A = this chain, B = another copy of it.
């Protein structure tokens, strides 16, 4: 039988124990961690190295079997879960990269690390630290997401302001193509102009053009100190003014700039009363700032003092606390990191991962809040995010007393209001989470036909049989 001969090829390639066909064995790979997407697949394949990935892809290509690449399965848009119904599932496999988990090389002098796709982000951070280096990518799922997934979704996180997205942290890739060929593009070079930028094409393609199997990532000298501060500001507009002041005083030392609305802090302090909130009262907006200093803590504290004085003088900041210890810095970050958890405690809300030009963030919030209030009076805005990148998690909770599940019926209407406003502010409807299967249709609404046509042409060029991660991105 067709699928039997295919599975035999796979068993020969990766060993029988790494071809999962039993429903219970497959299950963890077929549902995303938030349990929003469930698909089915003929099998889950677990290759252990690049050659095995190539062998598997070669078999898939020969048998016209579609491939869903998967890393830590922590995505938020269903990009790593098979899409489509049962019929489609007969022609689909999940290829898990988790067994490709070796650190191949650390080169401290070149400030690079070469890792396989299945290496967990936190492990990468740890290895860098052991070599006196920083790998700056940091995000909520870092304990279980893989660098291959980070690359495929061009993950963002909390240090983009200084170090860029995952894209900017990558120098070279190893990729297995849709035809099962290995492209060794594992260059550790800061400059290389010898042809088209294939690397950046595979980054952020969510596995629809090929499978990333390894990467050369940038490292940075570890800062001698990191110091955090919280500043109370009267409005998003004031937060933007504070950003300009902070950048002028701290330049590249400014590694974090996170905005949190009063509603966010109210939820966090209510649901997690054990967290230490340093202000006596709630403020309209709170900003978390982080400085990373190559000199030391005293120097960073000095910069903060000058900066906050300038901000208080300019009327931009109404109150500010600079962390006195590593523990207090940790406490401040805890407030920020508990916002998503507090939202879970509070009940479901309607989430958006958007970006606009930094200069338009305040306009966006004011305009969009008004539009949402107009349509859904009393809706509560849980807005927070990476203001230094213009990236907001713009989440809408039901008015007090309204059932959360019931409110979710308005999801499409609210998405439309928010995304139309994003478009009007020259923004992006997916800043750091990717498109996956969640936003493919929505993306078509906002992208020009010229751009969509180029995307389709590239898909056709690199994956002419459309076997790579069908139903995602394009």
A458/B461 in contact, CB under 8 A: yes
A205 touches B (CB below 8 Å): yes
Q: Which A residues between 187 and 215 are near B, CB-CB below 8 angstroms?
A: 187-198, 200-201, 203-205, 209
Residue-wise, chain A 429-452 has the 8 Å CB interface mask toward B (1 for contact) of: 111111100010001001110111
A355/B201 in contact, CB under 8 A: no
Residues on B with C-beta less than 8 A from A188 are 357, 426
A183/B357 in contact, CB under 8 A: no
A411 touches B (CB below 8 Å): no
- Contact residue among B189, B253, B292 (Cβ-Cβ distance under 8 Å from A357): B189
Identical copies in the complex:
2
Residues on B with C-beta less than 8 A from A386 are 191
Residue-wise, chain A 265-291 has the 8 Å CB interface mask toward B (1 for contact) of: 000000000000000000000000000
A189/B221 in contact, CB under 8 A: no
* Alpha-carbon separation in the docked complex, A130 to B148 (Å): 42
* Alpha-carbon separation in the docked complex, A52 to B18 (Å): 58
- Contact residue among B182, B433, B459, B462 (Cβ-Cβ distance under 8 Å from A193): B433
Residues on B with C-beta less than 8 A from A295 are 303
Residue-wise, chain A 444-474 has the 8 Å CB interface mask toward B (1 for contact) of: 0011101110110111111000000000011
Residues on B with C-beta less than 8 A from A112 are 357
Q: Which A residues between 398 and 413 are near B, CB-CB below 8 angstroms?
A: none
A331 touches B (CB below 8 Å): no
B167/A197 in contact, CB under 8 A: yes
**Which B residue sits closest to A452, measured CB to CB?**
B195
- Contact residue among B168, B195, B451 (Cβ-Cβ distance under 8 Å from A195): B451
Min CB distance A385 to B, Å, is: 10
**Which B residue sits closest to A200, measured CB to CB?**
B200
A177 touches B (CB below 8 Å): yes
A109 touches B (CB below 8 Å): yes
Interface size class of A (residues with CB under 8 A): 35 or more
A196/B201 in contact, CB under 8 A: yes
* Alpha-carbon separation in the docked complex, A362 to B187 (Å): 18
Stretch in A139-147, A226-234, A241-249 touching the partner: A241-249
Stretch in A87-95, A152-160, A309-317, A334-342 touching the partner: A152-160
A428 touches B (CB below 8 Å): yes
Contacts A160-B190, A195-B455 given: A250-B428 contact, CB under 8 Å?
A: no
Residues on B with C-beta less than 8 A from A249 are 294
A221/B191 in contact, CB under 8 A: no
**Which B residue sits closest to A446, measured CB to CB?**
B194
Residue-wise, chain A 160-184 has the 8 Å CB interface mask toward B (1 for contact) of: 1110110110000000010001111
- Contact residue among B165, B192, B221 (Cβ-Cβ distance under 8 Å from A355): B192
B191/A428 in contact, CB under 8 A: yes
A110/B357 in contact, CB under 8 A: yes
A185 touches B (CB below 8 Å): yes
A195/B294 in contact, CB under 8 A: no
B244/A191 in contact, CB under 8 A: no
- Contact residue among B181, B191, B200, B462 (Cβ-Cβ distance under 8 Å from A432): B191
Contacts A190-B390, A195-B443, A357-B189 given: A182-B110 contact, CB under 8 Å?
A: no
* Alpha-carbon separation in the docked complex, A358 to B450 (Å): 40
Min CB distance A87 to B, Å, is: 27
Q: Which A residues between 51 and 87 are near B, CB-CB below 8 angstroms?
A: none
| Besides the known contacts A191-B390, A193-B435, A196-B459, 19 further A-B residue pairs in the complex with CB atoms under 8 A apart | A107-B357, A109-B240, A110-B357, A160-B191, A161-B190, A183-B450, A188-B426, A190-B355, A192-B430, A192-B431, A193-B432, A194-B429, A194-B439, A194-B446, A196-B455, A197-B203, A198-B454, A201-B201, A252-B253
List, sorted by A's number, 5 A–B pairs whose CB atoms are closer than 8 Å. Answer: A183-B448, A188-B426, A193-B204, A201-B458, A250-B294
